[in-house]
Amino acid sequence: MSKYVKNLVTAHLRQHLQGVHDALLVNVIGLSATKNHRLRSELHSKGINLLVVKNSLAARAAAGTPLSPMFEGLTGTAAICFGAEDIVSLTKEIAKLTQDEQFAPFAVRGGVIDGARLSQQQVAEVSKWPTRGELLCILLGQILSPGANLVSQLTSMGGALASQIEQRGKRDVQATEPAGATDVT
C-alpha cells in the first residue's frame, strides 16, 4: 500500500472515529461470511459499529485521541467495536454475543474507557456494571426517597390525628344527645 493511500485511509478512519472515546477490540477471525453478516446485522440493530482495519493504520488514526492506548502493543488481528448508549451497554451487548454459540470464534480482546486501556478481564467486569439508564433510576430513587418518607410520616401522623378528632367528636355528640333521641340521617 502506497504512502498516499495509507494517508487517505488514515484520514478516513480518523474522521470515522472522531468523537469516539470508548471502544472495544474484538476478534472476528474464523467467522464465516454468513456468521459475519449476522453478527454485523445484530450489532447494527443495537447501534454498534464494527470496523475491521489494519492495526498500524488504526493506531495512526487514533494517535492523540482517547483511543490511542487501545492499540499500544497490539499484535494479531482485531476489529474495533464502538457505539451504543455508553461503554457499559456496549460491553454488555458484546459479552452477550460472545456467549452465543452461533458466533463461536467471536471474542473480546480488550478496550479503552476514557483513555485507560482495559484487558479482557476488565471488560468482563465492566459488562456487569449498571448501565447509564439503570444508574439514573438508582439516583432518582435515592433523591426521591427522603421526600417520600417525609410525606408518608406526615400523612400517617395527620391521619392518626384526624381519626382521633373524629372519634372524640362522635363521643361528644353522643354524650350531649338526650337518651331517647334517635338519629334521623
- Confidence (pLDDT) at 176: 80
- Confidence (pLDDT) at 45: 93
Higher pLDDT, 180 or 54: 54
Contact 165, 157 (CB under 8 A): no
Give the model confidence (pLDDT) of 40-85 as tens digits.
Answer: 999 999 999 999 988 888 888 888 899 999 988 888 888 999 988 8
pTM above 0.85, yes or no: no
Contact 115, 69 (CB under 8 A): yes
Among the listed residues 129, 101, 102, 127, the one whose alpha carbon sits nearest the alpha carbon of residue 24: 127
- Confidence (pLDDT) at 6: 87
Percent residues over pLDDT 70 in the chain: 96
End-to-end CA distance of the chain: 100
- Confidence (pLDDT) at 131: 86
What homologous superfamily does CATH list for 3-129? Answer: Ribosomal protein L10, N-terminal RNA-binding domain (3.30.70.1730)
- Confidence (pLDDT) at 179: 61
Among the listed residues 82, 81, 91, 80, the one whose alpha carbon sits nearest the alpha carbon of residue 130: 91
- Confidence (pLDDT) at 23: 93
- Provide the pLDDT confidence category of residue 183 given band limits of 50, 70 and 90: low
- Provide the pLDDT confidence category of residue 158 given band limits of 50, 70 and 90: confident
- Confidence (pLDDT) at 182: 57
- Confidence (pLDDT) at 81: 94
Contacts of 123 (CB under 8 A, 6+ apart): 24, 91, 94, 95, 108, 110, 111
Give the model confidence (pLDDT) of 94-130 as tens digits.
Answer: 999 999 888 888 899 999 998 899 999 999 999 999 9
